[in-house]
Amino acid sequence: MHSRAVRERGNTTKRNRLHPAQVVVSGFALTILVGTALLMLPNARVGPGAASFLEALFTATSAVCVTGLTVVDTAVYWTPFGQIVILFLIQIGGFGIMSFASVVGLAIARKLSLRSRMTAAAETKSVGLEDVKGLVVGVVRISLAIEATVALMLALRFMIGYGEPVGRAVWLGVFHSVSSFNNAGFALFSDNLMGYATDAWICLPICAAVILGGLGFPVIVQLRRQLRAQVRQPFRWSIRTWTMNTRIVIAGTIVLLVLGTAYITAVEWSNPNTLGPLGWPGKLLVGFFQAVQTRTAGFNSVDIAQLDSATLLGMDVLMLIGGGPAGTAGGIKITTFAVLFFILWTEVRGQVAVNVFGKRLSRAVHREAITIALLAVGVIITATAVLMLMTDISLDALLFETISAFATVGLSTGITAGLPWGGQVILILLMFIGRLGPITFASAIALRERHATYELPKERPIIG
């Protein structure tokens, strides 16, 4: 009955399929180091002396990983030069992750479609340099177009509404637009965006940029194609060509935004330190803004430290789920969560196959999703436990901080700067792992060649 534990081994291909991941991880690390060096220059910091290595490393990592956690006040600690460095680090990080994820997505799609078509031209399996170039150009063009639009709207508002001179208004517009689309959450105000909590002209364009960036590049491309088709044929509206990825991301984004807004607004409705003093349009605007930002961007228009702990717990869930894949969003991604949810739903309804929007969900994806979710939860719990041993801060605040770092959100109850250096190093590692871990790991799983030599007899334990 019991056969010896001889097991098949997955042969990782010899055709260097993992190179893109290695390139990107090294590229991110190198960018962070260069950013750290630049931020340590004396003219990056206001006042005498230079930023410490840890301050610079933390800020550079937070910028490149588009997280937005800070140990110093971006608005007053860094000079305009320092802020420009941060801006570039954010933009490079955003381009980098979108391009990398899109290339990987293309490679996976190629591999799978080849396998199903049973054509064996090995060279077409790998993604050519031409494809990569095309993708990167696409990423850059779309990003810049959206960023320019939002920057213009913000700059106009800063001029008209707040009397800023043109130069400063444009700078504010560009910085916050780039920070928004790349879901970075860095702001040039000491209280982040709390000063503009009820200014819809500031908040809504930022939300639009955040949501678009968080959908992920493949979804943006498909939406753009759809938009063009609608322009040509305005009365033939159809989403038949949408991929399962696009459907899940769009539906998931809508559901999470509606639920998030409802939850945050309801819980905080009469909290005197947050939504309490506002009228109901203000409550709704701030609630919506915070629901949007929590999913990964990390701006805040209320004081996070004043939120009810039930709100923080709900935000933990939103942060962990995050946004769409192959974009600037963090977290385990909507798609990963959706796969787990659809599996649950299938079991509850007693169906045979996991069907999602009229397609059957590939079985290999089940195990990928479990793996990513479990690893994420494991990393977060481990980091939280270590931080608890280091400090006397409450679970509330520490869990929020670690999830915020891992999911590259950047919201904080205000404990970041006060953590011991070991704690800040843990956050740096969490940001890096959270930014590159899921995509690198998931793509390694999906791209690996697997060869089963033979099947073992089947058995099952008791569940539940």
Sole window of 146-154, 200-208, 239-247, 414-422 interacting with a copy of itself (rule: CB under 8 A): 239-247
Sign of CA pseudo-dihedral 136, 138, 141, 142: negative
Among K ion, a copy of itself, none, what does residue 394 contact (CB within 5–8 Å per kind)?
A: a copy of itself
With CB under 8 A as the contact rule, the residue among 76, 270, 359, 421 that binds a copy of itself is 359
With binding defined as CB under 8 A, does residue 333 bind a copy of itself?
yes
59-118 residues in contact with K ion (CB under 5 A) are: 67-68
208-237 residues in contact with a copy of itself (CB under 8 A) are: 216, 218
With CB under 8 A as the contact rule, the residue among 34, 50, 112, 136 that binds a copy of itself is 112
Greatest CA separation for the chain:
81
Nearer to K ion, 187 or 267 (CB): 187
With binding defined as CB under 8 A, does residue 396 bind a copy of itself?
yes
Give the position of tokens 């200014």: 199
d(CA 51, CA 61): 14
d(CA 435, CA 423): 18
270-299 residues in contact with K ion (CB under 5 A) are: 298
- 183 neighbors 297 (Cβ within 8 angstroms): yes
Sole window of 16-24, 198-206, 267-275, 403-411 interacting with K ion (rule: CB under 5 A): 403-411
Among a copy of itself, K ion, none, what does residue 298 contact (CB within 5–8 Å per kind)?
A: K ion
Query: Phi/psi of residue 355, each to 5°?
Result: -105, 135
d(CA 226, CA 387): 47
- 406 neighbors 380 (Cβ within 8 angstroms): yes
Minimum Å distance from CB 69 to K ion?
A: 8
Query: What binding mask, one character per residue, do residues 5-34 give for a copy of itself by CB under 8 A, x or -?
Result: x-xxxx-x----------------------
Please name the residues in contact with 209: beta carbons below 8 A apart, sequence gap of 6 or more. 146, 147, 150, 177, 180, 181
With CB under 8 A as the contact rule, the residue among 18, 200, 341, 417 that binds a copy of itself is 341
Cα 159 to the chain's mean position, in Å?
A: 31
With CB under 8 A as the contact rule, the residue among 209, 338, 405, 430 that binds a copy of itself is 338
**Residue whose beta carbon is closest to K ion:** 298
Picking from 236, 84, 45, the residue whose alpha carbon sits closest to that of residue 174 is 84
Concatenated DSSP letters of 204-220? HHHHHHHHHHHH-HHHH
Among K ion, a copy of itself, none, what does residue 73 contact (CB within 5–8 Å per kind)?
A: none
Among K ion, a copy of itself, none, what does residue 369 contact (CB within 5–8 Å per kind)?
A: a copy of itself
With CB under 8 A as the contact rule, the residue among 198, 226, 243, 306 that binds a copy of itself is 243
With binding defined as CB under 8 A, does residue 268 bind a copy of itself?
no
With CB under 8 A as the contact rule, the residue among 309, 415, 417, 429 that binds a copy of itself is 309
With CB under 5 A as the contact rule, the residue among 35, 185, 216, 260 that binds K ion is 185
Q: Tokens standing for 277?
A: 């003093």
With binding defined as CB under 5 A, does residue 323 bind K ion?
no
- 30 neighbors 5 (Cβ within 8 angstroms): no
Q: Tokens standing for 22?
A: 């290695």
Give the position of tokens 């591999």: 111
Among K ion, a copy of itself, none, what does residue 185 contact (CB within 5–8 Å per kind)?
A: K ion
Q: What angle do CA 428, 432, 438 make, to 5 degrees?
A: 145
d(CA 454, CA 7): 8
With CB under 5 A as the contact rule, the residue among 96, 218, 325, 410 that binds K ion is 410
Binding site for K ion (CB under 5 A): 67-68, 183, 185, 298, 410
